[in-house]
A and B are shown apart, each in its own frame.
Chain A
Amino acid sequence: MSRCQSQHSLLHRCCGSPANDAFGVSWGGTEAGFDALALAHTDLGLPLDEITLAIRHTAEQVVYKVASGTKGPRATSSGHLRETAHASVLVFSTGERSLAQFIPGLQEGARKRLVDVPAEVQPGSAFETIPRDQIHIEGKRFFAAVRRQHGAVGLAWQQHLVAIGPVRIKADLDQHREQFLALPDVVAVIEKAHPQVRAVVNRFALYAAALRMVIEARLLPWSVAQGNSGIVACMGRWVAQRGNLDTAGEIVRAADRIEADLVAGLNDRFIHIHKTAKGWVPVTEADAIKQQTPKLFDGYAQPDHILVRPDVWQGYCNGFDPAEIAEHLKQRGVLIPGDKSTSRTEQVFGAVSRFYVLSRAALTP
């Protein structure tokens, strides 16, 4: 979510569960720090601010960890597998720049889990009811109110959930999610949505269901319609900034990105070869050195074609079905298929291997 600093703080502090200044944390921490933080906020929610303070690599790692909720395997001092802590945490991050802007190559899985919602709802303001020129006045009032009132409603909510127990929580949650997903505005998005988009809509449904349950518990003095419309509006902004939602649109976007990635990495990620009377040979001395460790590179760049190793191809697809992407690039005339498959058998330096073969002339830079 992106908007100016004071508005971020206000949004953080509006939350029911959060507490004092120590509750909100900036992105400018270490990976290990975020591990501990995620554990400390399990089932509570984690407000983060100022993503631009983060080191990009750290932020990316944090996003993946937070998205998956797990850490990599670690060993004990005796070499046995250490029990890893599992964190279940919902993150609410605000900043001037969106996550996608800050980490351009963010994988699809992470983008699905950390959803970018543009915050601006009217010129210069993240609040429908507060115009830009009133924000500093209203902000002061709310900051003072939040200093007096924080955490109590979160506690009351947790007490309510403990009292009703998991069986009823699940039942209520399912019922309210279904009701949200049946709203016409939501159905309109779902009907044409790619599965990855539907997963995000389901996440919005979780938020809407939470609001409905809190309203039902008489802890939030809003109407169900108000809660729904708020979440639907956020979903709408996310849809608008994302663009193509349908399957075809998603594949087109992914294929565009793959073409761009291939062109951008052509010099560094591929071993350039050309054909002589003796067969394929490295173009330069540097390529000859690269050829000593070919598995460290994505494949080969011939004068007319790019040969991408299948395992690397999967990485380029970044969460999308590699076969689906290959088929689409074939239709574009970028990918040159084999007889029975979208990949081909090619002989390079005497070895026969399968590659995804792309036409350099057809690639869009």
Chain B
Amino acid sequence: MSRRPKSRRPKSKSHQATSAAARAPAQQVRVRTPGDIVNEQTIEALALRIWTAMVGAKFIKDMSNLMDELLQSHLLDDDDEEDDEGWLDDHHTRAKKLLDEAIADGLEKYPNINTIDNLPINSDPDIANDAERLKSILAQCAIGATKFKEKFTHGSLERKVRGYFKTRLEKDPQYGQHVRGDVPGADIKKYGDKLCTSSKGTFVKTSSFEAGGGLDALFTGGWLRVAKDRIDPLAWSHQYGPPRKSERQSWRHHFTITERNGHQSLFELPREELAGSGRTAIRRLMKAGVHVVRRKAVPQALVGFLNFKPKREIIRMPHVGWAQVGEHWIFVRPEEVITPADMPQARDTSYLLEPATRHGLHVAGTAAEWATEIATPLQGNSNVALSIATFFAAPLLRFAR
């Protein structure tokens, strides 16, 4: 059974006027004017800024060791011998604990607006100015008893302190140079708003420091590095033959892996391996030698990255040689697929031989040079004619009656 809540409908103007007239003058509540409301809001904003500065200053002091650790760890300066980045998770936990302690301490020392009204003059001219304004407005609007804990949530206080911390850090001559607004590294390529690669590896956008991210987020623009190698999505692919979306199909993701020395490799990932937690896909990446970062948030973020669907589509050909596509015949070679000039090319669609069937067939020199250096001197030799004819006849066999 539900109980019907009492009606809280606003009373009519005439009813309010009658009630007010009936009260004793001392008991009468003065109606807040727009000016009062502005003053109250200004006081709250100024008080919060000063409170944040007080708590933030302590937090900065507490965090200095962690900051130094972070910078000394050569963050993203990938040497030949390098540690895993798993320690950053621990680092993040320690920073969060220090922040919570600083806020708790601040709420204890400065529980309400009055407690920050009588502080000594702050060395920061902005804060000192705020304090002066606060004092002046508080004299007109006595809301000094307002408690920070009741007025603001812990989350909003945390965000304020984090924001203050970042601003201060940016101005700091030692740390400021390391604070970044964007992903680290050069040659940045973005895939949507939340995925990108750069010379420093593969990144997924996560929480910024202000929004709850770790201290390292200040130095990575809030981008979480998921792999130290660059994993650029290339295409999705499917088999030639079976219908595109049938159970006989086998879709794959194709990526270009770029190592820090610039070496590139192609990497294929069966799409079904991304199902569930995607652990199999990560295992396959690691088998391929991709340096996956070991952090708590990485597996989910990395699987999200691997799921990206580029526009380009590849049709995987099962074997070399002729294949019919619609009314046209194409010729599949290990390194390329030859298509007729008049064949309409679907945008962003290309053909590729299945890697398992690639074998030999390299090209060196030119057809004209081959003719000059080999075919001409060997003319008049019947076995050579038969040998050459065998390989020229091979692609004709399909059309021979």
Q: Does B383 contact A (CB under 8 A)?
A: yes
Inter-subunit contact B320/A44 (CB<8 Å): yes
Q: Mark A124-139, 1 if CB is under 8 A from B, else 0.
A: 0011111000000000
CA distance A154 to B365 in the complex (A): 11
The interface residues of chain B lying within 8 Å CB-to-CB of A43 are: 320-322, 331, 394-395, 397-398
Q: Does B360 contact A (CB under 8 A)?
A: yes
The interface residues of chain A lying within 8 Å CB-to-CB of B376 are: 221
The interface residues of chain B lying within 8 Å CB-to-CB of A353 are: none
Inter-subunit contact B386/A231 (CB<8 Å): yes
The interface residues of chain B lying within 8 Å CB-to-CB of A142 are: 374, 377-378
Q: Does B373 contact A (CB under 8 A)?
A: yes
Which residue of chain B has its CB nearest to the CB of A170?
B399
Query: Number of residues in B with C-beta < 8 Å to the partner?
Result: 58
The interface residues of chain A lying within 8 Å CB-to-CB of B341 are: 163
Inter-subunit contact A92/B362 (CB<8 Å): no
**Distance of B215 from chain A, by nearest CB (Å):** 52
Q: Does B380 contact A (CB under 8 A)?
A: yes
Q: Does A188 contact B (CB under 8 A)?
A: no
Q: Does B213 contact A (CB under 8 A)?
A: no
Q: Does A54 contact B (CB under 8 A)?
A: no
Q: Does B72 contact A (CB under 8 A)?
A: no
Inter-subunit contact B359/A154 (CB<8 Å): no
Interface SS, A side: helix
Q: Does A147 contact B (CB under 8 A)?
A: yes
Q: Does B400 contact A (CB under 8 A)?
A: yes
Given A45-B394, A173-B400, do A117 and B365 touch, yes or no (CB 8 Å)? no
Count chain B CB atoms within 10 A of each CB in A126, A151, A173, A177 and give the residue with the most.
A151
Q: Does B330 contact A (CB under 8 A)?
A: yes
Of B321, B322, B370, B394, the contact of A153 (CB 8 Å cutoff)? B370
Which residue of chain A has its CB nearest to the CB of B359?
A40
Which residue of chain B has its CB nearest to the CB of A237?
B382
The interface residues of chain A lying within 8 Å CB-to-CB of B371 are: 153, 219-221
Q: Does A20 contact B (CB under 8 A)?
A: yes
Within 8 A of A (CB), among B366-388: 366-367, 369-388
CA distance A360 to B212 in the complex (A): 100
Which residue of chain A has its CB nearest to the CB of B394?
A45
Segment from A189-197, A203-211, A282-290 that makes contact with B: A203-211
Given A39-B319, A222-B375, do A230 and B362 touch, yes or no (CB 8 Å)? no
Inter-subunit contact B363/A15 (CB<8 Å): no
Which residue of chain A has its CB nearest to the CB of B337?
A162
The interface residues of chain B lying within 8 Å CB-to-CB of A165 are: 328-329, 340
Of A22, A92, A127, the contact of B359 (CB 8 Å cutoff)? A22
**Distance of B382 from chain A, by nearest CB (Å):** 4
Count chain A CB atoms within 10 A of each CB in B367, B384, B389 and give the residue with the most.
B389
Inter-subunit contact A15/B319 (CB<8 Å): no
CA distance A3 to B382 in the complex (A): 14
Inter-subunit contact A150/B364 (CB<8 Å): yes
Q: Does A265 contact B (CB under 8 A)?
A: no
Q: Does A1 contact B (CB under 8 A)?
A: yes
The interface residues of chain A lying within 8 Å CB-to-CB of B297 are: none
Inter-subunit contact A42/B360 (CB<8 Å): no
A sample of 30 cross-chain residue pairs with beta-carbon separation below 8 angstroms, ordered by A number, consists of A1-B383, A11-B383, A11-B387, A14-B378, A14-B384, A14-B387, A15-B388, A17-B361, A17-B391, A37-B359, A39-B357, A43-B320, A43-B394, A43-B395, A127-B381, A128-B380, A128-B382, A148-B364, A148-B365, A149-B365, A154-B361, A162-B340, A206-B397, A210-B389, A210-B396, A214-B392, A220-B388, A230-B380, A231-B385, A237-B382
5 closest Cβ pairs, A-B complex: A230-B385, A43-B321, A149-B365, A210-B393, A45-B394
